[in-house]
Structures are given as structure tokens and as C-alpha cells.
Structure 1
Amino acid sequence: MPFEEIVISYYLKEFWTAQSRQLHAHSSSFLEQNVAQSSTRILCGEQANTIQIFALAHYLLFCAFRRQIVHSPPKAPQMPSHVQNNNDPVLIFTMKWGGLYGPHYVNNLARGVKKHLKRPHRFICFTDDPKGLDNGVEAMPLPELGLPEGHNDTRWQKLALFRKDLMGLKGTALFLDLDLVVVDDLEPLFEIDGAFRIIRDDDLFRSKPLRKVNPSRDAFLHSVGNSSVFRYEVGAHSYILDTFVADPDTVTNKFEISQQFQSDQLATHAHLSYWPKEWCVSFKNHCVPRGFSSYFAAPSLPEGARIVVFAGSPKMDDALNGKGSKWYRRIGDVSWLKSQWMNAS
């Protein structure tokens, strides 16, 4: 064998011996395991020639490339670059339709956001009745769901926020339900990465052991996001609304509420991620002392909380006005929370 071929063969042998051992350590298929074992024996033996080495080199290159494609973890969704620029105004959305909530809910929420969000923002309320809204609130009509003819169920109205063209609005939006209180800085909600951030619904409630009877159902419900507070890019998740509008009967028969369907779609597209658990807390389950201890201590704000959500009962209006107590759960002084909601100094 010529001297040059001996040198090339030696260095190829050393290099591909290391590669084949690495393949053996990390490969997942039976074929790759066998080839790795065989190639190691050939390359470490005295019978290896240049043709064998080159043939194995090509195959090991293929396996390494395949392993890179198949086994490399997906890249985490990146936060849009403009979110990091504090000079660009972000969008704050809320919705009000029907008679359940008066305009003071919108106005108090807008003042709470203004108090706790220093970066430029637009506060937009999608509503069927703009009467009574403060001047700082931009009133816009409710976006259309676009349901097929004959379908008039508007319980899932919130899904209209995922229109590809949402009244010409662009950029990053934080949606807030009306029955919540902003209690601390909202800036981190725009600094954290992720294509879509939402509350994990289970984080607002106590554990439900009986759900374990159906493990697959339990796993799905554990993945569901609570749409009281979520951040997204306007127009980036139009597949949610498109899928719903394409067959609303099938969707509403399969899913109990819109946030289950919304979460399923986001998870399917690998866009679902959650807020840190301590940021959005439940008034009933995190602020009110549990059980009979509530007779000896008033509700208090958990450390790290930024938003207090009124999920389930009692409703916010009742709790802030001294109502909503049960024999097993007293709701004491909540003047600190009412002050935050009304933005008293």
C-alpha cells in the first residue's frame, strides 16, 4: 500500500472508530446498533483497508445525519424580537358582551394595567356596547367568528381573537378576562419567551384524585390552559379559529369548553406553554386560607402573584363586597384586594 494511502487510512480509522463508538452509544435502531458494532470490530482490527473505511465512513455519516434530524430536540419557540423592545406599544385585549359585566369592570381593569405596566400599550375592549368606557379604553366591535349559516352559538366568542386579520391589529397581545385583579408588575409577562403563554388550568384548582381513574383524560385536562390570561402574536394562530369554523358541531361535541379546544390546537402545533405557576393565582384556592383556618385569618396575597383570578365560585363582585362565604370557608377582610381593583392609592 502506498505511503499516502497508509496515512489516510490511519487517520480515517482513528476518526471513524470514535464515530462508530459514539453511534453505538446513542443509536436507537437495531440496524444502527449492529452496524456500529461491526464497524468498530473492522476498524479496530488489522484487516481494515481503505475501501472498507470509506464505505463505513459514508454510512456512519448518514447515520449521524439521521440521528441529528430524528433525535435533536425541537428548538423552543422564540419570543418575537419586537416584544423585547420596550418602545413598541403592546396590545392589551379584553372582551365584554351581554349584560353580565358593566363598564366599570373594563375601566377598573384598564386602570390596573396602566398602574402595573410601564411600557407603552393600547388597551382595547372588544364589545357590543361601548357606553360608559373611559377615554383611555379603545372600544372596538366584537370580531366575527365567521360561523357557517345556521350556527349562532357565540359562547366560544373568544376564539374570534385568533382571526388572521383582526381588524388590522398587529403585534403582541395580552388578553385579560374582566373578572380578575392586576396586583403587581406585568412587565415579566412580556419578557418571558414562548410563542403562546397561558395559565395551566390545573394550577388554579386543587388536585382532583378521582380524575386518575381515566389516565388519558387526566393527562389531557392537565394540559388544558385557562384562557383568563394569555399572550400571543395577533394573526399567528389562525389555525385555531379555522379548525373550529370548518366543523363547529364536531368540535363542540368533542370539547366541553373553548379553552379545551384551544389548548388541543396549540399543543398539536407545539405552541402551548404556561405562565410560571405563582404569577396567576386563584382567589379562592390561593388567597383564602383553607377550610376552618379561614375563620382565624383573612385572605392574603401569595408571594410572586401578579394577577388574582376568580375561577369558579365566589364571583369577584361577591367576594369584593363581603359575600361568598360558606360554612366551611369564611372570606374575611379583602379590602387590600378591593383597593387594588379600584386602584385606590
Structure 2
Amino acid sequence: MADPTPVFLCFKWGKGYPCKYTNILYRALSDIMMGPFRLICLTDDPEGLAEGIQTQDIPPFAMDKGDWHKGMWPKLTAFAPGIVEPGTPVIMIDVDVLVLRDLTPMFDRIREKGGLHIIREIPDTLPRWFPKLFGKPLLSNSSVVGFVAGTQEHLYQESRDKSLAELSQFRNDQTYIHHHAHDRHNWPIGWMLSFKKDLAYHFPVGLVRPIPRPKNSYIVIFHGVPNPEDMAQGAFKRWGSPEKFGYFPVRWIKDYWTRYSRDTDR
């Protein structure tokens, strides 16, 4: 049987990230990927998504919708049967990432090793600098998750009928995946970088030193603040956290955001 076309799988629900984030991701992948791929968006509202993005309803999930954002629990529906053909290499990817290079080597890794591939949790500054004093066991970050369709369906089947209270022993979706995935692997260190934890500078360095574009990484992930859109604004608009912030655009992020944006996106 011919190797199935690899699939990127993303989510759009609620009001957190408007459709422009999904559209920018699709346009970036279309520009950067060297081979064929499909982008499937699991969504409760497909209106406004760019032509070429395939949409499906979010599979049935019993948790009260008001609790979905308390850990991004709907991401567990990515493992539901029937979304894509079994045997297809899949990368579940957050819509607020920046894609820097062709991601074909990531699909190759999924095919070769099998199992589930996830980012090792990225430590904060103090645990990174002083691991003996502030370190803790590192779990996983689910911004980019790779797997072969049909091999991790238990992650959905064992959670689909549970309430938030029944899953309360797990802080969020990525903790659940970390503890329940079959044959879990970490992506190689450096393939994915956190903008907030790996790239942004502490005050006052961030006020005077430009943040360079990573040379050898595949994806930059965002969690918490800032969002990539924040650093594509004009001058003197503050972005970032209390410790790491700036007042000017990050040039390569602004270029990326401008290149793949469209005025008609909501």
C-alpha cells in the first residue's frame, strides 16, 4: 500500500485563537513544506478558514465545554479513531507556533520509530540555572505531538466520557498524555524552542538586544504570553511577561506574520 499523505492536525474552538491563526499556519506550511501534506482542523466553527484546510467536527467529548480551556482537554480527541486512515503519520500542532523549516524529517522520525513523540517540558529560568535547588521532574509539552494514526486511540477512548473532576489528578492534557501514551519519545532537544523560555531575554537585556531567528530549529512554540501576533505590532507597544518583555517588533516574527496574514482574516 502506498504511504499515506502525512497529516497536520490542529484545533479551533471557542474565542481564544481566531481563524487567522489557523490560516497563517496553513499558509506557512504550504510555503515551507517540500512534500505533500494535509491540514485537518477539528473545530466547532469552520467559518473563515482558508480554502485547502480540511475541517471535521471535534469528536464527541463528555467534559463540560466550559471546562475545555482548563488544560486544553479537547486535544485528546486528536487520537479518536476515524479522523485519518490508520497508519498515517500525524503531527498534532498548535496554531500559534512559527514553522521555520521543512518538517519532513519529523514525519520521517514518526514513521521510523513509531510510538508517540512529544516535547520534553521546557524548564523555567531558575530550574534551568539552578537545577539542584529548583529542579523538578520534567513532564511533557503538547504543542507539537507526533504519532501514527490508530496507535494511540486509548488516549481518547479512556478520557472521552470523563468530567474535569474525574481527570483532576492530571493538571492538563499534556500531563495526561505524558502518563498514558504508549511508547513515548521526546523530540530531539532543539527541534522545538519556546519563545518565552528559550529566546526572549530578561529585563533589561531585552530592551537593547534583538532576538535572533533560530538557525537549526524546526518550530518555535508559544505558551502563556506573549503570542506571536504581539511582536508583529508597531513600536512602543509592550509585549511579554513581567520578566521578559519588549517595546518593539521582533523583526523575523513580524516578517513571518505579515507574509502569511491576509486582511480578510477574522
TM-score band by shorter chain is 0.7 to 0.9
Q: Which one of 128, 146, 154 corresponds to residue 68 of structure 2?
A: 154
Structure 1 stretch displaced more, 123-132 or 243-252: 243-252
Q: Distance in 2 between matches of 1:167 and 1:306?
A: 25
For normalisation by structure 2, the TM-score amounts to 0.81
For normalisation by structure 1, the TM-score amounts to 0.64
Structure 1: runs of 5 or more not aligned: 1-80
1:328 to 1:168, Cα distance in 2 relative to 1, 3 A: closer
| SS of equivalent to 2:159 | helix
- The C-alpha deviation readout for 1:151-208, integer Å capped at 9, x for no partner, is 9743411111111x234543111111111111122111112243211111226x4353
| SS of equivalent to 2:204 | helix
Partner of 1:202: 122
Q: For CA contacts below 8 A with separation 6 or more, give which structure has more relative contact order.
A: 2
Q: CA deviation at 1:330?
A: 3.7
Q: Distance in 1 between matches of 2:36 and 2:258?
A: 22
Q: CA deviation at 1:309?
A: 0.9
User: Are the counterparts in 1 of residues 127 and 133 from structure 2 also a CA contact under 8 Å?
Assistant: no
> CA RMSD for the aligned pairs?
2.9
Structure with more of its chain in strand, by fraction:
2
Partner of 1:289: 201
| SS of equivalent to 1:229 | strand
Partner of 1:14: none
Q: Distance in 1 between matches of 2:176 and 2:52?
A: 33
Structure with more of its chain in helix, by fraction:
1
1:184 to 1:154, Cα distance in 2 relative to 1, 3 A: same
Partner of 2:169: 254
Q: Which one of 151, 167, 185 corresponds to residue 273 of structure 1?
A: 185
Q: Distance in 2 between matches of 1:272 and 1:238?
A: 14
Partner of 2:26: 110
Letter aligned with residue 176 of structure 1: I
Q: Distance in 2 between matches of 1:249 and 1:284?
A: 28
Q: Distance in 1 between matches of 2:199 and 2:133?
A: 30
Q: CA deviation at 1:342?
A: 3.9
Q: How many residues of Structure 1 are paired with residues of Structure 2 in the alignment? A: 249
Partner of 1:239: 154
1:213 to 1:261, Cα distance in 2 relative to 1, 3 A: farther
Q: CA deviation at 1:290?
A: 3.2
1:181 to 1:249, Cα distance in 2 relative to 1, 3 A: closer
Letter aligned with residue 275 of structure 1: W
1:326 to 1:176, Cα distance in 2 relative to 1, 3 A: closer
Residue correspondence of structure 1 range 259-338 to structure 2 within 5 A: 259-266=174-181, 269=182, 271-321=183-233, 322-325=237-240, 328-331=243-246, 332-338=248-254
Q: CA deviation at 1:334?
A: 1.1
Q: Distance in 1 between matches of 2:226 and 2:116?
A: 29
Letter aligned with residue 287 of structure 1: L
User: Are the counterparts in 1 of residues 43 and 58 from structure 2 also a CA contact under 8 Å?
Assistant: yes
- The C-alpha deviation readout for 1:247-274, integer Å capped at 9, x for no partner, is 54665221111110111002xx3x1111
Q: CA deviation at 1:338?
A: 2.2
